[in-house]
Structure 1
Amino acid sequence: MDKEFDPPVVIARENRAGRRTIASAWEALEWLRLRRPACTGPRYRSAVRICRDVLDGLRAPPDARRAFISAAREVGRRVF
């Protein structure tokens, strides 16, 4: 079962105008997977692990939200 972010995370799109909204741990995990192997830093790895833990019910959605924001910033994305 997916776990929603409250509020959703809005990030700048790569190399183009516009923004993308990430509303859940599942969406965050998918976004992170699409960036691999371009981003493999410690925040990326931590965010993947935490998102999986949230989806498995081991952690709370705010943990995944914070980790995702940190990983997005690690690869230079603006977060709104």
Structure 2
Amino acid sequence: MADRPFRNPLLAKLDETSHYTIRSAWEGLEYLLCYWRGVENTSYRLAVHLCRDAIDGWASPERAREALKRALDAAGLSIPNPRRSPPKFRASIAHRGREPAARNVFEIEKRFVVEQAFGDDLRPHLPRRPVGASFREPF
């Protein structure tokens, strides 16, 4: 017996306000046996049978997923997958006036240590320019 994951998970209703994410044949069988609120018709029995076979290795997990999807659709318990917006790309204009984002964990840790040591002033080693000094004068 093995947990046979699906390529794409299914969303099923638990009640009016919550849902159950089914990611594998094992979770599909758990939903069918513990949380099913629909009529136990032939599509339900076929989904139970195929989920058990997928767990035992006799059927593919995708075949069990299709049977489970049909049973959920027949009972009105399926939730369509939410539409996901495309990833947003960061433009260089968005970073004006701010520090660039950290590239890795070590850079984040380094910034944190520097901020802890020096507070808001992240450049303590640079000398301060006198108030009346121009840019051409050395400081």
Q: CA deviation at 1:75?
A: 1.4
Q: CA deviation at 1:45?
A: 0.3
For structure 1, which runs of at least 5 residues remain unmatched after alignment?
none
State whether residues 54 and 61 of structure 2, in contact with CA within 8 Å, keep that contact through their aligned partners in structure 1.
yes
Counterparts of 1:1-80 in structure 2 under 5 Å? 1-14=2-15, 16-34=16-34, 35=36, 38-80=38-80
Larger radius of gyration: 2
Pick the structure with more strand per residue.
1
TM-score of the superposed pair, with normalisation by structure 1: 0.85
Q: Distance in 1 between matches of 2:39 and 2:31?
A: 11
TM-score of the superposed pair, with normalisation by structure 2: 0.51
User: Which whole-Å deviations, capped at 9, do the CAs of 1:12-70 have from their partners, x for residues lacking one?
Assistant: 332x223321100000001000227x531010000000001111111111001001111
Q: Distance in 2 between matches of 1:53 and 1:78?
A: 22
Identity %: 36
Q: Distance in 1 between matches of 2:58 and 2:78?
A: 28
Which structure has more RCO (C-alpha within 8 Å, separation ≥ 6)?
1
Pick the structure with more helix per residue.
1
State whether residues 4 and 54 of structure 2, in contact with CA within 8 Å, keep that contact through their aligned partners in structure 1.
yes
